Amino acid sequence: MFDNVPDDGTGYVLAAYIFFLLMILIYIGILGAKFQRINREVGQLADEVETGKIGKPDKPATEESEPVREESSV
Amino acid sequence: MSARGLKALSIATVVTLIIGFTLAIFWAPMDADQGFKQKIFYLHVPLAIVALIGFIAGGVEGFRHLRSGDRRHDANSYVFIHLSVVFGVAVLATGAIWAKASWGHWWVWEEPTLVSFLIVFLLYCTYYPFRYAIEDRDRQARYASVFAITAGAFVPLNFMAVRMAESIIHPRVFATSEGGLPGSMLFAFLICLVGMGLLWLTLVKVELAGKQASGQVSRLRRSLSNDQGGGSVGGRIAPSMEAS
């Protein structure tokens, strides 16, 4: 496969840079899929709250129930 | 970081990398010894430097976590190490390509620089199974921090040991007796290094934003389940950005 690469190393240089580019693109794709999943989960939660599946307790919330706190940013 | 800040950082990363690689390939002079194949240097070396600094930064964050108990430092440490392992894969791959082009072999076991980086990389690969083997989240975070500190301290020691080694075929380009890189090569290299650092930082920010969002969703789901009288929704073993 690498027998046809020119002697000056152009093919190797190209291979290294293309590998790097592909790797970053794949990684960004994985991150994008992760964010899509989070987005889907948020949508599901919103749907469940709106349709009353969760968030409407049968009995009033007790004092032990933890309020939802705001997440601190990094 | 806000979405706007992340967008600016992403643009800066892409622009810097494009400028750096363009300078490296079209402007920096051709290496007298290696010729065009030396251009891999502008990709391979910044990747290696950023990965190694990332490992050390992971140890620093682990130390901060142990000192403060703040879960955010543990998440930072995890993400720093994770990104550096990803960069490490690229270092090994581009290094192997360069080795094949220069020496005619994909890997040379007699070369300390290569083997030492492989050892560091494999050491950090054990971070994941080590971390995920512990289910208790507090204990997991503490043990992972201890690992990050120990391994992070090993990185510069390993680097120094290799620099002092006598058997060298891997090129030494900085602080050599011949004076190191010429100015134009050094300039192009530094731009590539800055671009690679920005890339690492951008990916860290995106990863952390994902962890933060994921943690918020989990906490919200748990809070809603608790309101309804439900139990736990199950533990997570990966670090999240939830408040401790």
ipTM here: 0.82
Instruction: Please determine, for residue B228, whether its predicted confidence score (pLDDT) is greater than 70.
Output: no
CB pair distance less than 8 Å for A74 and B89: no
Residue B212 has pLDDT above 90, yes or no: no
Residues of A in contact with B215 (CB under 8 A): 71
Of A13, A17, A48, the CB nearest to B36: A13
Between A and B, how many residue pairs show a Cβ–Cβ distance under 8 A? 113
Give the pLDDT confidence score for residue B244 in this predicted structure: 42
Among B214, B219, B225, the residue with its CB nearest the CB of A38 is B214
Lowest-pLDDT choice from A69-73, B47-51, B161-165? A69-73
Average pLDDT (B44-62) is: 95
Residue-wise DSSP of chain B:
--HHHHHHHHHHHHHHHHHHHHIIIIISPPBTTTBGGGGGHHHHHHHHHHHHHHHHHHHHHHHHHHHH--HHHHHHHHHHHHHHHHHHHHHHHHHHHHHHHHHS-S--TT-HHHHHHHHHHHHHHTHHHHHHT--SHHHHHHHHHHHHHHHHHHHHHHHHHHHH-S---S---SS-TT-SS-HHHHHHHHHHHHHHHHHHHHHHHHHHHHHHHHHHHHHHHHHHHHHTT--------S------
Per-residue pLDDT band at B222 (split at 50, 70, 90):
confident
Check A9 against B101: CB less than 8 A apart. yes
pLDDT of residue A61: 47
| Cβ <8 Å between A45 and B215 | no
Model confidence band, residue B175 (pLDDT cutoffs 50, 70, 90): low
B39, pLDDT greater than 80:
yes
Q: Is the CB of A45 less than 8 angstroms away from the CB of B100?
A: no
- Residue B5 pLDDT: 84
- For the stretch B188-202, pLDDT in tens is 999 999 999 999 999
Predicted local confidence at residue B220, as pLDDT = 85
How far A10 CA lies from chain B's nearest CA (Å)?
6
Distance (Å, whole) CA B96 – CA A2: 13
Identify the band that residue B231 occupies on the pLDDT scale cut at 50, 70 and 90.
Answer: very low
pLDDT band, residue B166 (cuts 50/70/90): low
Task: Say if residue A73's pLDDT is above 60.
Answer: no
**Using one digit for the tens of pLDDT, what is the confidence trace for A5-40?**
456 788 999 999 999 999 999 999 999 999 999 989
Of A15, A45, A71, the CB nearest to B97: A15
Q: Is the pLDDT of residue B101 over 50?
A: yes
